Amino acid sequence: MQQSSSQTMPSVNGPVPAAHDEMIWVPGGTFQMGSDYHYPEEGPAHSATVEGFWIDKYAITNEQFARFVEATDYVTFTEIPPRAEDYPGAKPEMLMAASVVFQKPAQRVDLRSHFNWWTYVPGANWRHPEGPQSSIENRAQHPVVHIAYQDAEAYAKWVGKELPSEAEWEFAARGGLDRATYAWGEEFTPKGKSMANTWQGEFPWQNSRDDGYEGTAPVGQYPANGYGLYDMIGNVWEWTTDWFTARHAVTKPCCGGASLKAVRDQSFDPQTPEIKIPRKVIKGGSFLCAPNYCRRYRPAARMAQPIDTAACHLGLRLIRRPKPSTNLLVIRNAANPDEGVNT
Ligand SMILES: [Ca+2]
Ligand SMILES: [Ca+2]
């Protein structure tokens, strides 16, 4: 039974409540997580159980994130030039404060190379989503983007919430429709209605904007799911705490530093064995997900994201658990687990 969101809503830190601070209670339950009918990393479909939790009704907005930065002087990952010693062999241009930005090519390109649309842009960050010439003016209620994992954790700590596990996120995204393909049922655009901000047209060079937006949309423009949550699918990808696996691990590995580290190390990208950057699971797809390239606008879909990489289509939303979690696989900055922003 869904509780009213105003009933025992925990208070939020911070000087002034922002728009879109609201959280929704998601009752726990057992559901079918993953899918055997789409991309291989979504399988095997399996039974998973989550406890009840509160979750942000919307993805975190620029207004909310700005409030955090104002209160703490926090500097995000993409605003800091990478240290050469952390990235041995990196070219000098990779050692500038920069982030990953989508740039629409003028004509059809080879889909096998994502360098045809992804560019590492110096000066791109949450305040300048497309690079130094761009700004978030008039985008206060758009989801914040260019958030690396440590930024997501720092924001969560300040606001007194936590990042969701993949299972919690997926359970919430399904909105009570167990095994449905989409968060709203079996049809992508029921009666022709856009249910999420994705990409229509031929990715990456033609965007017909049938859903009204070429880039991010203000949060809450499309119908809520069964739990009353907006934009779980589309608009921006959202971080979870799970380390990426090429397939779902049906039994959770357990307990003890060595095996936790092993789980993290399994998330390294096998395509680039020389790079040892662990990768988290991100969920929900974004405004860049298109039928001809990345049909990841579904609750089961998942993607690997290096923890040190932010992008113009990646943000976050947070949860609050009734009891502080003790049993989740969370590895924080190993050296200083408590390091972060003081509240
Ligand atoms: Ca769109
Ligand atoms: Ca989303």
Tens digits of per-residue pLDDT, 139-170?
Answer: 999 999 999 999 999 999 999 999 999 999 99
314-315 and 46-50 beta bridge pairing: unpaired
247-286 residues labelled b (16+ CB within 10 A) or e (exposed):
ebeeeeeeeeeeebeebbebbbeeeeeeeeebbbbbbbbb
Q: Separation of 229 CA from ligand 1 center, angstroms?
A: 18
At 124 the pLDDT is: 98
Starting from the CA of residue 240, give the closest ligand.
Answer: 2
Distance of CA 236 to the CA centre of its chain: 7
Q: Separation of 107 CA from ligand 1 center, angstroms?
A: 19
Instruction: Catalogue all structural domains in the chain, each as residue range(s) with its CATH number.
Output: 15-335 (3.90.1580.10)
Sign of the CA dihedral 110, 144, 199, 175? positive
At 255 the pLDDT is: 53
Q: 320-334: per-residue pLDDT in tens?
A: 999 765 444 443 333
Starting from the CA of residue 298, give the closest ligand.
Answer: 2
Starting from the CA of residue 203, give the closest ligand.
Answer: 1
Residues of the chain with pLDDT under 50: 1-12, 14, 256, 326-343
Give dist(CA 292, CA 203) in Å, integer.
Answer: 7
Nearby residues of 219 by Cβ (< 8 Å), 6 or more positions away: 20, 58, 59, 61, 141, 142, 143, 230, 231, 235
At 68 the pLDDT is: 98
At 43 the pLDDT is: 98
- Contacts by 32-39, CB closer than 8 A, 24 or more apart: 32/178, 32/179, 33/167, 33/170, 33/171, 33/248, 33/300, 34/170, 34/248, 34/300, 35/181, 35/298, 35/300, 37/181, 38/295, 38/298, 38/300, 38/301, 39/296, 39/301
Q: Separation of 294 CA from ligand 1 center, angstroms?
A: 14
Starting from the CA of residue 297, give the closest ligand.
Answer: 2
Starting from the CA of residue 225, give the closest ligand.
Answer: 2
Q: Separation of 235 CA from ligand 2 center, angstroms?
A: 5
At 182 the pLDDT is: 98
Q: Separation of 223 CA from ligand 1 center, angstroms?
A: 14
- The answer to whether residues 54 and 320 touch, using CB atoms and an 8 Å cutoff, is yes
Starting from the CA of residue 288, give the closest ligand.
Answer: 1
- The answer to whether residues 26 and 299 touch, using CB atoms and an 8 Å cutoff, is no
Nearby residues of 17 by Cβ (< 8 Å), 6 or more positions away: none
Starting from the CA of residue 287, give the closest ligand.
Answer: 1
Q: Separation of 234 CA from ligand 2 center, angstroms?
A: 5
Q: Separation of 176 CA from ligand 1 center, angstroms?
A: 25
- The answer to whether residues 120 and 99 touch, using CB atoms and an 8 Å cutoff, is yes
Q: Separation of 233 CA from ligand 2 center, angstroms?
A: 5
At 45 the pLDDT is: 98
At 11 the pLDDT is: 47
Q: Separation of 249 CA from ligand 2 center, angstroms?
A: 24
Nearest to 325 by CA among 113, 54, 33: 54
Give dist(CA 96, CA 119) in Å, integer.
Answer: 13
Starting from the CA of residue 216, give the closest ligand.
Answer: 1
At 302 the pLDDT is: 98
Q: Separation of 20 CA from ligand 2 center, angstroms?
A: 14
Radius of gyration of the chain from its Cα atoms, rounded to whole angstroms: 19
